Amino acid sequence: MLWQLAQMLWVGGLWLLHIGLLPVLGQIGLAPLLIDEIAGMLNALVVGFAAACVVFQALVLVQAEGLDSLWRDIRGQLLLMALLACAMFVAVRIGWPDAMRWQVFSYLALGFSGLVLVLQPVPGWSGRVREAHP
């Protein structure tokens, strides 16, 4: 359950910001420079939050499946890719702030790795409904 909650928060928040909030701000008539400023601040916050959730999900995966699952399991590989995308976003934002395309690329790589991760089964769940314990 913690896996799904963390996944919903970071993947949903990432896509909600990119597809939902920023276009709506443009529709209500805010100035484009103001929208860019808001997007820059919120993108950094969402990527930082996503990195924290990815680390938490990696810990859940390691606890459920073992340490080898980080590089042998598709879920672990997607989590490592998402963490790399977060690191690349932060590194480009700090070291090369004019490279907006690299920031967008790393943001989208993070988003798409999250979408593929959503399609994977929850660790430690064999596909059957768990029975409630009295």
- Domain map of the chain by residue range? 2-118
**Residue 68 CB coordination number (10 Å):** 10
Angle, helix 74-95 to helix 100-118, in steps of 10 degrees: 160
Give the amino acid at 48. G
Q: What is the pTM of this model?
A: 0.82
pLDDT at 121: 85
The answer to whether the beta carbons of residues 47 and 89 sit under 8 Å apart is: yes
| 75 close to 123: Cβ distance less than 8 angstroms | yes
The pLDDT of residue 6 is 85
| Tokens standing for residue 82 | 């998402």
pLDDT tens string 14-60 = 989 888 888 898 899 888 899 889 888 999 999 999 999 999 999 99
- Residue 97: the pLDDT is 83
What integer pLDDT is reported at residue 102 of this predicted model? 92
Do 103 and 92 meet the contact criterion of CB atoms below 8 Å apart? Answer: yes
Rounded distance, CA 108 to CA 62, Å?
26
Tell me the per-residue pLDDT of 96-115, one tens digit each, with 9 for 90 and over.
988 889 999 999 999 999 99
Contact 82, 107 (CB under 8 A): no
What is the percentage of the chain residues whose pLDDT exceeds 90?
A: 46
- Distance between CA atoms of residues 23 and 14, nearest Å: 14
What's the DSSP call for residue 17? I
